[in-house]
Amino acid sequence: MRVAVIGGGPAGLYFAILLKRDRPEAIVTVIERNRPDDTFGFGVVFSDQTLDAFAAADAPSYRAIIENFAYWDDIEIHVRGTVRRIGGNGFCGCSRRSLLMLLHDRARALGVELIFNREATPEDFPDADLIVAADGINSPIRSADEAHFQPNTDPRPNRYAWMGSTRPFDAFTFFFKQRTEGIFIAHCYQYERGASTWVLEMEPETFRRTGLQHATEAESARFMQDVFADELAGHQLITNRSHWRQFPMIRCARWTRGNVVLLGDAKATAHFSIGSGTKLAMEDAIALHAAMLAGGSLADCLTRFEHGRREAVEKIQHAADVSLVWFEHVRRFWPMHPTRFAFGVMTRSKAITYDDLALRAPAFVREVDALFAAEAAGDAPPCMAALQPADSQRPPMFQPLKLRGMRLTNRVVVSPMCQYSAQQGMPTDWHLVYYGARATGGAGLIYTEMTCVSPTARITPGCTGLWNDEQAAAWTRIVGFTHAHGSAKICLQLGHAGRKGATRLMWDGMDQPLPEGAWPVISASAIPYAVQNQVPRAMDRADMDCVVEQFRQAARRGERCGFDMLELHCAHGYLLASFLSPLTNTRRDEYGGSIANRLRFPLQVFDAMRTVWPEDKPMSVRLSATDWADGGISEADVAAVARAFAEHGCDLIDVSTGQTVADAAPVYGRMFQVPFSDMIRNETGLATMCVGSITSADQINTILAAGRADLVALARPHLVDSGFAMRAAADYGVAEILCPVQYQYGRDALMRSAARERADLLELRRRARPKSHGGAGGGDPSHVI
């Protein structure tokens, strides 16, 4: 077997080593364009988990790496004169040059041919059975065949440069520094004695103000030395091709063609803020090696590699995407208390959560809890004040929240979920049981499903309504039960389906038109939701007046029913959302065009509801913060809409996304809508509720503690577990959760068993953590920080 590896970085070298070790008869050649002792960049970072993978893949190269590394367990975050040190992380830094030299030695020992200072293309190796394109982030091989590999390159807006220094570190360190130009960020770590990496980053506006776009390397270094003079502590910054760049997020639709396979940065990149570039490349090599050894034809092996590896790569890229976006919006988080800011840094990629930190750094999490409890009590300390642990150590999800005269006992919300089980808009016994069960399950707030203001406002024939007194009586019974048997408050969500109305029950075909009995539909413009749906009538002033009055009357009935809170549904492509999005509003009158015009009618509806809703009861608005489609509502528009509703008396923005147009392309994932709540809350200062693929108490606490939302709504988890909040309270040892007297024996038993189970789970998690590699391998102890 003849193998040509084009590119002598860690990915190509490591694959050559693994294959030659297990296929000694193979002829393996690595061709590198640079000289053997050339080095660009400074250090690379590996986590304990990655080192475990290296140990399992090739023990000799693993031992060589750990004998030449600097190890640390802590992360330090320096912001506004404060330092937060968080342990239990486990990383090592290694010189990139040393890593390459070690891999060179291991490859030569196995008989791999190394050729340096030579450019190469696949055409140079007509006899090769396999060609590995490990030729880097600007891969000429990928570029030469873009039509096949279909790379998507997204240059991120922040500017960054890699520099070095002689300043030592005993932790992976983040410096955040504000000057008149803006906020500067330094990602720093030691990788060998007397040598540390400094990745310097700033937002584009800050970069523009510095004038560094025209600076030489030396000028850039001098400028950044001035910015971080205190942090450098008398040491200098060192340059090595330290140009200011934008990070390219690269994804390829295909990784292979014929006998050519892309590896490492050539096929996919992950942002440096999670330290995963070299890790990703070397783990690619491990995966390709395993695929080759599994047997079959070369085509089978390469297919096995791509299909088997893609999910893991995309998960890392997703974490990197979320992390880099946090740094792109650092100004958004700058006003936060340093404790919350540090918690946000630690949890930015979703890879580390509240529970992880409680295990790794319990003192830090106690500080986070104390801050949250102080804020919930309304006596949060000034941003720079010393924070003393509060008496209550309840996690954030079990802290109260006050909105006007309504006080929630905790931050867990049962999300609005259509049951499609009403009869002519009338709630039935199903609704009594459904809402009643969740009222006794411990949640702080329960939302009704979207309740429609008229028969023609329904999505389906099974939707609930509040347009007559009989329906009001049924809702009054449900609200009364909720108040009588638990501490949960209940919010009435009112809406109008608009152009998405007159469709079948969800389980009969979501968004599919009724085969018979359909009613006419209206919208901002005469644009159907999908080709099979009705073309709506574009609303005129008379239609608007009618709808405004329908919402007013429904709100008045809702107050008589005893609801604690009222929400206006302006999301998901329904009637009011159809005015807000430019994709569904093409009007040329005063209700179309600018965001102020598109917002005009929804505000008229909200104002009508607010006039009949009691002053001491809160109101919220549900918004789609993105349409997930080109040309849709912008981030600036969403912030403007949120601010406008707040000025008109809205107390909370319920943040959802999408469902505006049928051809939307949402990007799903854990907590995928949280960044939009984060944006609205921290750009506008308004209270928000988030929702969307949030499934655990750990995730709730992570979101709240990081300041990304004030309430967290769960949908599907509450469908199958009405006692979700009660179980979570038991898991965290929170006994002060109201429980119906009929269930108290069960709650007490749950509290006892949950304490044992949590202790067992924590012990399992401790044992499952990757082993610490600090001091492993018997190397020079001075290398271990």
Q: Look up residue 728 and give its two tokens.
A: 């979570």
CB 32 within 8 Å of CB 114: yes
The H or E element that residue 441 is part of is none
End-to-end CA distance of the chain: 44
Measured distance CA(121)–CA(31) in Å, rounded: 10
Q: 561 in helix, strand or coil?
A: helix
CB 338 within 8 Å of CB 381: no
Measured distance CA(282)–CA(9) in Å, rounded: 9
Q: Cα 698 to the chain's mean position, in Å?
A: 14
Question: What dihedral angle (degrees, nearest 10) is formed by the CA atoms of 416, 421, 427, 432?
Answer: -70
Measured distance CA(41)–CA(198) in Å, rounded: 10
Closest by CA to 655, choosing from 694, 617, 626, 684, is: 626
Measured distance CA(269)–CA(239) in Å, rounded: 23
Measured distance CA(114)–CA(34) in Å, rounded: 12
In angstroms, the Cα distances linking 452 to 83, 327, 417 are 52, 42, 13
188 strand-pairing partners: 173, 198
CB 697 within 8 Å of CB 685: no
Measured distance CA(43)–CA(215) in Å, rounded: 24
Pairing of strands 565-570, 489-495: parallel
Backbone region of residue 455 per phi and psi (left: phi > 0; alpha: psi in -120 to 50; beta: other values): alpha
Q: Cα 221 to the chain's mean position, in Å?
A: 33
DSSP state of 583: T
Rg (the chain; Cα; Å): 29
Q: Look up residue 734 and give its two tokens.
A: 């929170």
Measured distance CA(697)–CA(667) in Å, rounded: 23
CB 253 within 8 Å of CB 150: yes
Closest by CA to 661, choosing from 584, 733, 599, 598, is: 584
189 is catalytic: no
CB 19 within 8 Å of CB 5: no
CB 565 within 8 Å of CB 491: yes
CB 111 within 8 Å of CB 3: no
Which of 62, 189, 574, 591 does the annotation list as catalytic? 574
Angle at 90 between CA 86 and CA 92, to 5 degrees: 120
Name the amino acid, one letter, at 214. H
Helical axes 600-612 vs 635-647, angle rounded to 10°: 30
Instruction: List strands edge to edge, sheet with 70-72.
Output: 43-47, 91-95, 70-72
Residues 6+ apart with CB under 8 A from 756: none
Residue 225 neighbours by CB distance under 10 Å: 16
Closest by CA to 579, choosing from 620, 624, 534, is: 624
Measured distance CA(493)–CA(449) in Å, rounded: 6
621 strand-pairing partners: 568, 653
The per-residue DSSP string of 256-271 comes to EETTEEE-GGGTB---
Handedness of CA 177, 179, 185, 191 (dihedral sign): negative
Residues noted as catalytic:
574
